[in-house]
Amino acid sequence: MAASISGLLKPWTPRVFLVRWSRYNPYYLEPEVSKEAYSQPETELSAEEKEQRELKALRPIKAATSGVTSSVFDDPVISKFINMMMKHGNKVLAREIMTQTLENIKKKQVEKYHKASEGEREAIECNPYTIFHQALENCKPVVGLASIQKGGKYYQVPIPLTDNRRRFLAMKWMITECQDNKHRRTHMYEKLSQELLAAFGKEGNVIKKKYELHKMAEANRAYAHYRWW
């Protein structure tokens, strides 16, 4: 089952079938979970997509993780956030916290909605998913800092970040902030909902952290030429 250079991969099926958490041979393809990908009629596909489909009919496919579903409620961003919150593999607890957080956000927003006057009601966002996504977007940094060695000294150089890195940083800051800076008697979902609503309104500690990173990058903009990529 050793993975070799892709040129050596032959049509091959193992005698014993693999389970998700062992390492697959690169010959295996990723599963396609979304229903929309299969509901497209034949005519709308381009030549590449047709080739892909034919390839998928012949090659073995990896087993899907239990974290992905084909339901309409499956959100990869929220799944990633739950995985990052999870400790010691306790996915049940992490998911509970997430659902409680979203419920809490909804409760607070609906309360605000009912207390507000007619003119303000349209501006209040009640969907917890949009609030979550918008809050995460507001927390994502634009540039990051890298420690680059030049002439014996290490300088903090501003660098562009990939989308994945930015999303990871936003989520990491959110989670660490809510784990560290809270009163010992407040629940995680309570603190998370407070932080998310604050980030939605562009306030709060996570947004402050993002601004501090931007300020550092701006202060070090002279070292931007130390990058070589």
Partner 1 sequence: MATQGGIVFQEKVSRLLRGQNGKPVLKPNRALVLKDAVANRKPKKGEASCITEMSVLMACWKQNNFVDSLCSNEINSFYMCVEKAQADAKNKAGQSNIQGGRLPPKEATGLLKRYPNLCKEI
Sites of contact with partner 1 (CB under 8 A): 5, 138, 142-143, 158, 160, 162, 211, 214-215, 217-218, 221, 224-229
- If residue 175 lies in a helix (H) or strand (E), which one and from where to where? helix 163-180
CB of 201 to partner 1, least distance (A): 12
CB 90 within 8 A of CB 53: no
Q: Considering only CA atoms, give the Rg of the chain.
A: 23
Task: State how far the Cα of 23 lies from the Cα of 63, in Å rounded to an integer.
Answer: 12
CB of 210 to partner 1, least distance (A): 9
Burial of 152 (0-12, 13-18, 19+ CB in 10 A): exposed
CB of 107 to partner 1, least distance (A): 28
Cβ distance to partner 1 smaller for residue 20 or 221 = 221
CB of 181 to partner 1, least distance (A): 22
Cβ distance to partner 1 smaller for residue 73 or 229 = 229
Cβ distance to partner 1 smaller for residue 110 or 146 = 146
Length of the chain equals 229
Quick check: helix, strand or coil at residue 15? coil
CB of 94 to partner 1, least distance (A): 30
CB of 219 to partner 1, least distance (A): 9
Cβ distance to partner 1 smaller for residue 5 or 16 = 5
Cβ distance to partner 1 smaller for residue 37 or 142 = 142
Quick check: helix, strand or coil at residue 8? helix
CB 106 within 8 A of CB 126: yes
Number of C-beta neighbours around residue 139 at 10 A: 26
CB 98 within 8 A of CB 81: yes
